[in-house]
A = this chain, B = another copy of it.
């Protein structure tokens, strides 16, 4: 947890209190800020809504707007007593996760494009620097009822994108989503799964191992609802807007005429993100949605990873920016290093990445006792910062432990 504690707690509360995409809540938080807006809700539930305070910011509210606010308050009042952000954050902590809020340097600014529909906070399991992860990204989505053809294409696209350092974003569902995540993981790429329920819930259960593999290979599971939240139908629909926002471009690999992937494509189009569609046999109903997107001019035709990369605006210039992002990955490691105890930090500084040093040499360089050095390298080894080689100890790049 980083940033202002009250702000984080308030945003954790908002993400539990209201359903994703609640524009009344989004407007209220936009007007008053997360903390004040929550206090305003508490007071409104205890007493009565202080609409005059809102009108100080907005000017006179219409009757319809007043009714929307009052109706929203009635919904929130039911859930408010059960909200416990500290419990949710403790649960996230047990998962080794991080809560990101706007202003956190790891917050993905891409989500800000959603305006009043932006998530209040994102609950992340795995790599916490979502902003860096999504700097070069493409959403690869499609039907659960995919064909062998579609799954092969999704896998190959994700493989090719990962080879170029483009993060593949998808929804973790069976079919195209899973094939895309698999292609990224197989290539050792980072991939982001945007879940409709909490990040503690492997959904669908059949993809539990895949989701673990995503986390294990430097990717992340992401949700705008706290751990323990169920993946409901409306949350699936709202989740699609996050996928669309997270990708610099969205590619539909296979989709029926009406489907969640089509909704993701339309969300991306509304966000003015480029949309691609992979063509397929016109005899395949699984490609009908893709062809519809092409016919209606919502999507451009994409047939391989290079064309998706082009769609996502990943040019030579952005690949250079990607190198900069790698440097900022070093910065992230530097921040993590800040979290080490002082002795371990000094020992780590003393280690070379290439030349193994004996413990007494390490202790001497670090200015610590040999016993302290022995304890420190043990901790650093556990954290993945150092390894023992034949002749002594070396630092391990700045690999994420």
Give the interface of A toward B (CB within 8 A): 149, 152-153, 278-283, 287-288, 290-291, 294-295, 300-304, 307
**Bound Cα distance from A316 to B145, whole angstroms:** 37
Contact of A303 with B291 in the complex, beta carbons under 8 Å: yes
Residue among A153, A282, A300, A304 with most chain B CB within 10 A? A282
Residue among A149, A280, A303, A307 with most chain B CB within 10 A? A303
**Bound Cα distance from A43 to B304, whole angstroms:** 60
Residues of B within 8 A of A304 (CB): 282
Residue among A152, A279, A291, A307 with most chain B CB within 10 A? A279
**Bound Cα distance from A302 to B295, whole angstroms:** 7
Given contacts A278-B282, A283-B149, contact A300 B295 (CB under 8 A): yes
Contact of A149 with B281 in the complex, beta carbons under 8 Å: yes
Beyond A152-B283, A288-B303, 6 extra complex contacts between A and B, CB < 8 Å: A149-B283, A279-B279, A279-B282, A294-B300, A295-B300, A295-B302
Tell me the smallest distance from the CB of A176 to a CB of chain B, in Å: 14
Contact of A291 with B301 in the complex, beta carbons under 8 Å: yes
**Bound Cα distance from A212 to B288, whole angstroms:** 37
Residue among A290, A295, A300, A307 with most chain B CB within 10 A? A295
Contact of A280 with B278 in the complex, beta carbons under 8 Å: no
Residues of B within 8 A of A278 (CB): 282
Please list 11 pairs of residues, one from A and one from B, whose beta carbons are closer than 8 Å in the complex, sorted by A's number. A152-B283, A278-B282, A279-B280, A279-B287, A279-B301, A280-B280, A281-B281, A288-B303, A291-B301, A294-B294, A294-B301
Nearest chain B residue, comparing its CB with the CB of A297? B300
Residues of B within 8 A of A282 (CB): 153, 278-280, 303-304
Tell me the smallest distance from the CB of A152 to a CB of chain B, in Å: 8
Residues of B within 8 A of A279 (CB): 279-282, 287, 290-291, 294, 301
**Bound Cα distance from A80 to B153, whole angstroms:** 59
Residues of B within 8 A of A153 (CB): 282-283
Residues of B within 8 A of A283 (CB): 149, 152-153
Nearest chain B residue, comparing its CB with the CB of A307? B295
**Bound Cα distance from A178 to B300, whole angstroms:** 30
What 7 pairs across the A-B complex have the smallest Cβ distances?
A279-B279, A294-B301, A282-B303, A295-B301, A291-B303, A291-B301, A281-B281
Nearest chain B residue, comparing its CB with the CB of A296? B301
**Bound Cα distance from A304 to B282, whole angstroms:** 8
Nearest chain B residue, comparing its CB with the CB of A294? B301
Residues of B within 8 A of A302 (CB): 295
Residues of B within 8 A of A288 (CB): 303
**Bound Cα distance from A281 to B282, whole angstroms:** 9
Nearest chain B residue, comparing its CB with the CB of A310? B295
**Bound Cα distance from A152 to B294, whole angstroms:** 22
Tell me the smallest distance from the CB of A367 to a CB of chain B, in Å: 60
Tell me the smallest distance from the CB of A161 to a CB of chain B, in Å: 15
**Bound Cα distance from A280 to B153, whole angstroms:** 13
Tell me the smallest distance from the CB of A142 to a CB of chain B, in Å: 13
Residues of B within 8 A of A152 (CB): 283
**Bound Cα distance from A233 to B304, whole angstroms:** 33
Residues of B within 8 A of A295 (CB): 300-303, 307
Nearest chain B residue, comparing its CB with the CB of A304? B282
